[in-house]
């Protein structure tokens, strides 16, 4: 029998709220996280807005000098503390599966600028805070000695990291997993999307006819996965159940999605198959929904092929309209959106909504609505053609 996966802890830092409760309030109030960028000088950039994490007290320790690790620890501490897993499982029974796209690039950028000011050329820069060490840093902080994985599949990494964490439990490699993602708000990502002309000059408007790009975001988002039977037996708070995931690749282009949505369709179908859930029973889809011309058109085409003609029956929204595109963290923070929506019985909104790209869809414009979600499907699509979809469900009677 396949082991069921309970979600028993949540921790989050974001542009609309720090901590689970403040983040939930931001979702329900349809708060906009975009504001003037403060992490670095954007004078020479055409776009001045970003959705950076709100001010937070970081874990100060010389062992964790990189800010992305510090922000990861803050959100992870909340999730771990809430779940109580450290009082239940041995260190070797708890693992870490973390997603990122740029990892420790923030400290490398600061080191580069420090060198540049002093006329120093030091190629050791490339060895400073390797991205691959992120999961190890969190494992070391908590003394978790189970399986350890850092996933770097661009903006699909969050969905991959959650799926891998669930697999470790189902395979008997761990009894509980800290899963999630953290990415820096960095010069390199802001510059890259700017060069690609993918950044909206104002605010991102997913699924709008006149959408003009994404808002770059930042987040640290973690969940605790553990065996359902064990979680029930110990009386843990169970938010929802992680039911399955699907991954695929477009094999089309390094930055552009397959316009026919091939990878998206395969990943959504794979998630549904693993979860043993029919698309007709899905109550809500948290779309990738970046607000770029190509992604939104592709995703709607893929979802329409999946659903058929009954497009109005499943509400679809983009949380990126609130807290921007958080890159490797996207799949993790949007899994938290789905989990909180299931627990608190509301349908998340797509804010900044004006004229629909397709009037046959319900994009939950501008305001949340009350509603029970039995099954939520969440998509993450990425550079390199990487696609990931996850399925989260309500746990009845718990």
- Annotated catalytic residue within 30, 59, 155, 210: 155
Torsion of CA 51, 149, 104, 12, to 10 degrees: 30
Structure tokens at 209: 């006819």
Per-residue exposure over 206-217, b if at least 16 CB sit within 10 Å of its own CB, e if not: bbbeebbbbbbb
Confidence (pLDDT) at 115: 58
End-to-end CA separation in angstroms for the chain: 21
Cα separation, 200 vs 176, whole angstroms: 40
Give bridge partners of residue 225 from the DSSP assignment. 7, 177
Cα separation, 14 vs 28, whole angstroms: 14
Tell me how far CA of residue 107 lies from CA of 3, 20, 329, 384, in angstroms: 40, 27, 18, 25
Q: What's the farthest any 2 CA atoms get from each other in the chain?
A: 65
Give bridge partners of residue 214 from the DSSP assignment. 199
Backbone angles phi, psi at 66, to 5 degrees: -75, 135
pTM, rounded to two decimals: 0.94
The SS3 of residue 345 is coil
- Annotated catalytic residue within 30, 59, 288, 344: 288
Instruction: Spell out the per-residue pLDDT of the chain, length 398, in tens.
Output: 789 999 999 999 999 999 999 999 999 999 999 999 999 899 999 999 999 999 998 866 655 567 888 999 999 999 999 999 999 999 999 999 999 987 766 666 665 565 566 666 555 554 445 566 789 889 999 999 999 999 999 999 999 999 999 999 999 999 999 999 999 898 888 889 999 999 999 999 999 999 999 999 999 999 999 999 999 999 999 999 999 999 999 899 988 889 999 999 999 999 999 999 999 999 999 999 999 999 999 999 999 999 987 778 899 999 999 999 999 999 999 999 999 999 999 999 999 999 999 999 999 999 999 999 999 999 999 988 999 999 999 998 66
Cα separation, 20 vs 219, whole angstroms: 12
**Is 393 in contact with 343 (CB distance < 8 Å)?**
no
Please give the full DSSP string across 203-262, using - where no structure is assigned. ---TTBTT---B-BB-EEEEEEEEEHHHHHHTT----EEEEEEEEEE--S-SSSPPTT-H
The SS3 of residue 292 is coil
Confidence (pLDDT) at 109: 60
Q: Please report the domains of the chain, with CATH numbers, ordered by start residue.
A: 5-392 (3.40.47.10)
Confidence (pLDDT) at 111: 58
- Annotated catalytic residue within 133, 253, 325, 344: 325
Is 288 considered catalytic here?
A: yes
Per-residue exposure over 177-200, b if at least 16 CB sit within 10 Å of its own CB, e if not: bbbbbbbbbbbebbebbbeeebbb
- Those residues with Cβ within 8 angstroms of residue 199's Cβ, 6 or more apart along the chain or in another chain: 46, 47, 190, 193, 213, 214, 215, 216
Confidence (pLDDT) at 207: 98
The SS3 of residue 76 is helix
The SS3 of residue 81 is helix
Quick one: which of 127, 121, 101 has its CA closest to 188? 101
Cα separation, 91 vs 138, whole angstroms: 13
For the chain, the residue count is 398
Is 155 considered catalytic here?
A: yes
């Amino acid at each position: 029998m396949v082991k069921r996966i309970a979600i028993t802890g949540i921790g989050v830092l974001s542009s609309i709220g720090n901590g689970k409760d403040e983040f939930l309030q931001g979702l329900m109030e349809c708060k906009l996280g975009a504001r003037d960028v403060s992490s670095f000088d954007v004078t020479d950039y055409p776009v001045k807005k970003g959705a950076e994490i709100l001010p937070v007290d970081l874990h100060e320790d010389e062992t964790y000098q990189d800010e992305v690790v510090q922000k990861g620890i803050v959100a992870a501490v909340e999730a771990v503390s809430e779940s109580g897993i450290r009082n239940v499982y041995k260190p070797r029974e708890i693992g870490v599966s973390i997603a990122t796209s740029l990892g420790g690039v923030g400290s490398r950028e600061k080191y580069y600028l420090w060198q540049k000011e002093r006329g120093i050329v030091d190629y050791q820069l490339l060895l400073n805070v390797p991205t691959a060490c992120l999961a190890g840093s969190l494992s070391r902080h908590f003394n978790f000695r189970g399986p350890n994985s850092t996933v770097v599949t661009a903006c699909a990494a969050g969905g991959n990291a959650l799926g891998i964490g669930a697999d470790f439990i189902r395979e008997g490699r761990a009894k509980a997993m800290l899963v999630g993602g953290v990415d820096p708000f960095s010069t390199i990502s802001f510059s890259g999307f700017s060069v690609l002309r993918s950044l909206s000059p104002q605010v991102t408007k997913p699924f709008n006819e006149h959408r003009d790009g994404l808002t770059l975001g930042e987040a640290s988002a973690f969940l605790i996965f553990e065996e359902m039977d064990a979680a029930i037996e110990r009386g843990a708070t169970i938010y929802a159940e992680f039911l399955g995931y699907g991954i695929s690749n477009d094999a089309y282009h390094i930055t552009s999605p397959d316009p026919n949505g091939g990878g998206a369709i395969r990943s959504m179908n794979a998630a549904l198959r693993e979860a043993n859930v029919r698309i007709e029973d899905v109550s809500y889809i948290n779309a990738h929904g970046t607000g770029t011309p190509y992604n939104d058109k592709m995703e709607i085409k893929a979802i329409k092929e999946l659903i058929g003609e009954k497009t109005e029956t499943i509400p679809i929204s983009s949380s990126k309209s609130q807290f921007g595109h958080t890159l490797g963290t996207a799949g993790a923070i949007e899994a938290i959106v789905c989990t909180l929506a299931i627990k608190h019985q509301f349908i998340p909104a797509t804010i900044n909504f004006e004229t629909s790209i397709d009037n046959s869809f319900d994009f939950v414009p501008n305001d949340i609505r009350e509603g029970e979600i039995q099954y939520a499907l969440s998509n993450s699509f990425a550079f390199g053609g990487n696609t990931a979809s996850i399925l989260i469900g309500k746990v009845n009677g718990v």
